[in-house]
Amino acid sequence: MNIHVDMSICLLHGQCVIAAPEVFSFAEDGNLVWLAECDETLRASVEAAADACPEQAIVIDG
Amino acid sequence: MGPRVLIIGASLAGLRSAEAVLAAVPDAQVTLVGDEAHPPYNRPPLSKETLAGLVAGEAALDKLTFRHRLAEDAVTWRLGVRALSTDAARQVVHLSDGGVLAYDWLIAASGLRPRRLALPGAEERHVLRSVDDATRLASRMRPGARMLVVGGGFIGCEVAATAVKLGLSVSVVEPLAQPMLAALGPEVAAALAGFHRACGVDLRCGMAVTGAEDGAVVLSDGSRIGADVIVEAVGSVPNVEWLAGAGLDLSNGVLCDATMTAEGSDRILATGDVARFPNALFDATPRRVEHWSIPGLTARRAAETIAARGAGVEPPTRFAPLPGFWSDQHGLRLQSFGAPGLGDEVQVLEGGLAALGRLPCLIEYRRAGKPVGILGLGAAPAALAQHRARLERALTETVAA
């Protein structure tokens, strides 16, 4: 499963970091970082993160 | 065939309810009824970037429409149709197109509509709830136009901030002593009032609009404000009329228990803005919560309830979703977790309210000495995430105790 975050619309609400901390986090400099590819076992939490994004910036591929 | 699940309301709560029901009960026959012609779309940007985009001539719905995981034929869509009435004994809902839909489970996800003012003398007044509202309002927002916003809640303040940025001359009239007072408390609300004024908003608090004549609005102190564009942002009314007579408590939304089941009918549930439910994180008082995260959380809860009851077991009774809201005003991000409105005391954890908009500020709200909410004003998301985790732990300990 591939994860893409559209950084042109992300406003750093951080809801994905809350919903799926295994996948999304804040770097030292405050930017959002995430696993571009992740295991199928994380699908539920990645989907929860995509749902929770107020800007709907997270796209799951595959 | 699985149970017939009828969802009234096709916005975020309706969409998430459909997704959650199909995830929990894959053979459910789901019908989504929505009074807007548009498929489900995201509302928070309407008062902010979408409004600015519409003024600049951009299309709105391309960006707003939710990407969702429903297969093409997974649900029956009935868009542009309103629910008129419910016969709970026969388990049917009557629709505005003459249709009658039977249900095994009925989910009320019918949301809110803007409260309207009686203001004779000002015929064209705007509200902001739907994309069509935003499109109408944007068509009147020309640089230099005088906008009057009635109501200094979040929507009113966001519209005012967007309009100032677009070069309008903006007044906000708020009946209470400060804007956003109930949600943020007097200290923070007073600081935000100063911030709005510093950003160019003519903010008049403790004042009501009493009338309108000759292109001006008259306030309760007798003063007049000339207005080319009038926006009413005076709160919302739950859409529950279609449930009258179903034996429910509709005094402020649909009263539910912690399984999202409506008091008065075990076949009717409610999700999203219209649901009034108790939250174990705070107390036993049922409340409606107009936060963006609540539709998704209540939808999953309702789906669990339907799945459990369908399987002949009782669903879990503890429901403790952490609320959270955000707002953007004049480039300042407000982000909150928990329930600041329940606090009786605030403590500034970082920064200071005097430097609002220049330095990050973090505020904790407490009730009877215990944390109930956290608010960031221009605060770093990473710092907020840490405080959110701490708050959730503290609230959960309170529940356990």
pTM of the model: 0.95
- As for the ipTM of the complex, it is 0.87
Q: What is the mean pLDDT of residues A16-40?
A: 91
| Burial letters B123-147, b for 16+ CB under 10 A, else e | eebbbbbbbebbbebbebbeeebbb
CATH number of the structural domain A2-61: 3.30.70.20
pLDDT higher than threshold 70 for residue B401? no
Q: Considering only residues A11 and B111, tell me which one the structure prediction assigns the higher pLDDT.
A: B111
Share of chain B above pLDDT 70, in %: 99
Contact A62, A1 (CB under 8 A): yes
Residue B171 C-alpha, separation from nearest chain A C-alpha, in angstroms: 28
Nearest to A30 among B326, B328, B382 (CB): B382
pLDDT higher than threshold 70 for residue B319? yes
Choose the mutation target among A51, A55, A58, A59 for the interface with B, i.e. most B CBs under 10 Å: A51
Say which residues have a Cβ less than 8 Å from residue B146's Cβ, sequence separation at least 6.
B168, B169, B170, B171, B225, B226, B227, B228, B229
pLDDT tens for B152-170 read 999 999 999 999 999 999 9
How many Å apart are CA B297 and CA B17, to the nearest integer? 9
Whether residue A54 and residue B42 make contact (CB cut-off 8 A), yes or no, is: yes
Domains observed in chain B: 4-47+62-113+236-310 (3.50.50.60), 116-232 (3.50.50.60), 331-400 (3.30.390.30)
Q: Which chain A residue lies closest to B335 (C-alpha atoms)?
A: A13
